[in-house]
């Protein structure tokens, strides 16, 4: 049994689950500055109040899985991304505190609104910046990180940060369209239109820029027969973006579902571009893996815990399905 490959796939699933599930509630915070009415802001937070903290489970699972299964990769990545990781975690703390205090401290509600919005924006931006820096590659010599503390910050990583922020905002808009009704839903549809255009432009530019970052990335996509085999991914993505443009005007659940599909295809393309590297551009997941006996032992625990996590996550979303009013959960 290929334990190394199994653990790569498990961590990939955990990261994608975090990006999509926590992505839309980060997106709600990113949208806060565009919605001035405090009552509407309260309704926005109420849509994710019962589930937002459960979404963070996947961040812990992805990070913990990387630490246990690929300790060499964890060491290098945490060293290279210490500043953005710290900034992201601090932003998530402020955001989590704001979730509770906003409903309890009426006199300082604006301050907690700012903490919630700023925390969401900073967390999303740091994730995007790390994504861009990860694609560009980590400076490693003799198994040690030899780059600088600010190597993660570059024009490409900044553009990726912008792309992730816009993507999360669109994901959040799709979630709110599904949860709201009436005039507020109409306002959200109008916000979604420019977000779709911005997201499409970002995807096109990031995809092209990625092929210039490393010649191996360009070869993966444009050399024959890879080009023919991989062509459906960008073509289907373009089709989904076109469908999304029309869906935001008159659909509810479809908008969120299409956006999830676009995120999945982008994530799939990201994996295809980097495979088999876990620390680009040189270290593969097999180079960074823990011994097989450790991986097999941990796989037993994962086989027990993962179905439980999937089950309680699905149950929570099922219980709190449907439209959300002003009554809230606090």
Tell me the per-residue pLDDT of 149-169, one tens digit each, with 9 for 90 and over: 899 999 999 999 999 999 999
What's residue 329's pLDDT? Answer: 54
Q: What is the pLDDT of residues 87-144, one digit of tens each?
A: 999 999 988 888 878 777 777 778 888 999 999 999 999 999 999 999 999 999 888 8
Instruction: Give the model's confidence band at 238: pLDDT under 50 very low, under 70 low, under 90 confident, else very high.
Output: very high
For range 303-322, the mean pLDDT: 88
What's residue 47's pLDDT? Answer: 87
71-80 and 57-69 are packed helices; what angle lies between their axes, rounded to 10 degrees? 120
The pair of three-digit structure tokens given for residue 138, joined into one six-digit string? 């980590």
Instruction: Give the model's confidence band at 326: pLDDT under 50 very low, under 70 low, under 90 confident, else very high.
Output: low
Whether residue 330 has pLDDT greater than 60:
no
What's residue 296's pLDDT? Answer: 93
Q: What is the pLDDT of residues 243-279, one digit of tens each?
A: 999 888 887 778 899 999 999 999 999 999 999 999 9
Q: Specify the range with the lowest mean pLDDT, choosing from 70-74, 170-174, 213-217.
A: 213-217
SS3 for 173? helix
What's residue 72's pLDDT? Answer: 93
Nearest to 249 by CA among 142, 308, 168, 173: 173
Q: Do residues 286 and 20 lie in contact, with contact meaning Cβ atoms separated by under 8 Å?
A: no
Q: How many CA atoms lie within 13 A of 327 on its CB side?
A: 2
Element (H, E) at 277: strand 277-279
Q: What is the pLDDT of residues 184-227, one digit of tens each?
A: 888 888 888 888 999 999 998 888 888 888 888 888 888 889 88
The pair of three-digit structure tokens given for residue 219, joined into one six-digit string? 């070869």
Cis peptide before 7 (omega within 30 of 0): no
Q: What is the pLDDT of residues 5-52, one digit of tens each?
A: 999 999 999 999 999 988 998 999 999 988 888 888 888 888 888 888
- Pairing state between β 283-284 and 277-279: antiparallel
pTM of the predicted model as reported, rounded to 2 decimal places? 0.93
Q: Do residues 16 and 267 lie in contact, with contact meaning Cβ atoms separated by under 8 Å?
A: yes
183-213 and 232-250 are packed helices; what angle lies between their axes, rounded to 10 degrees? 160
Element (H, E) at 51: none
Element (H, E) at 225: none
Q: What is the pLDDT of residues 276-288, one digit of tens each?
A: 999 998 899 999 9
Instruction: Give the model's confidence band at 327: pLDDT under 50 very low, under 70 low, under 90 confident, else very high.
Output: low
- Report CA-CA distances (Å) from 288 to 70, 228, 264: 5, 31, 25
- Report CA-CA distances (Å) from 109 to 29, 37, 136, 218, 326: 14, 12, 41, 49, 16
What's residue 328's pLDDT? Answer: 55
What's residue 293's pLDDT? Answer: 92
Whether residue 57 has pLDDT greater than 60:
yes
How far is 46 from 49, CA to CA, in rounded Å? 5
Instruction: Give the model's confidence band at 3: pLDDT under 50 very low, under 70 low, under 90 confident, else very high.
Output: very high
6 CA to centre of own chain: 21
134 CA to centre of own chain: 14
The pLDDT mean for the chain works out to 89
What's residue 188's pLDDT? Answer: 86
For range 307-311, the mean pLDDT: 90
What's residue 13's pLDDT? Answer: 93
């Amino acid at each position: 049994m290929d334990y190394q490959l199994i653990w790569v796939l498990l961590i990939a699933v955990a990261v994608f689950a975090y990006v999509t599930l926590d992505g839309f509630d980060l997106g709600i915070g990113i949208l806060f500055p565009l919605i001035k009415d405090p009552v509407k802001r309260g309704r926005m937070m109420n849509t994710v109040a019962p589930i937002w903290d459960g979404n963070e489970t996947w961040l812990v699972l992805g990070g913990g899985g990387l630490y246990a299964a690929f300790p060499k990769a964890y060491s290098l990545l945490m060293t290279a991304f210490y500043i953005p990781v710290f900034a992201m975690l601090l932003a998530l703390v402020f955001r989590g505190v704001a979730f509770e205090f906003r409903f309890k401290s009426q006199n300082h509600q604006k301050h907690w609104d700012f903490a919630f919005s700023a925390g969401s924006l900073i967390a999303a931006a740091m994730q995007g910046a790390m994504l861009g820096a990860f694609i560009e590659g980590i400076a490693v010599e003799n198994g040690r990180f030899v780059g600088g503390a600010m190597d993660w910050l570059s024009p490409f990583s900044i553009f990726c940060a912008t792309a992730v922020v816009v993507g999360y905002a669109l994901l959040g808009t799709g979630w709110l369209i599904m949860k709201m009704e009436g005039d507020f839903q109409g306002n959200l549809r109008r916000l979604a239109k420019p977000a779709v255009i911005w997201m499409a432009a970002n995807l096109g530019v990031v995809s092209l820029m990625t092929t210039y970052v490393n010649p191996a990335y360009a070869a993966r996509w444009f050399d024959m027969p890879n080009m023919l085999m991989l062509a459906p991914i960008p073509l289907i993505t373009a089709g989904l973006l076109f469908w999304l443009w029309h869906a935001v005007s008159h659909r509810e659940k479809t908008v969120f579902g299409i956006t999830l599909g676009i995120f999945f295809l982008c994530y799939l393309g990201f994996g295809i571009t980097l495979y088999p590297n876990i620390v680009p551009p040189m270290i593969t997941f097999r180079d960074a893996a823990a011994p097989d006996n450790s991986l097999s032992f941990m796989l037993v625990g994962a086989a027990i815990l993962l179905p439980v996590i999937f089950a309680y996550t699905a149950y929570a979303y099922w219980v709190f399905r449907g439209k959300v009013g002003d009554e809230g959960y606090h």
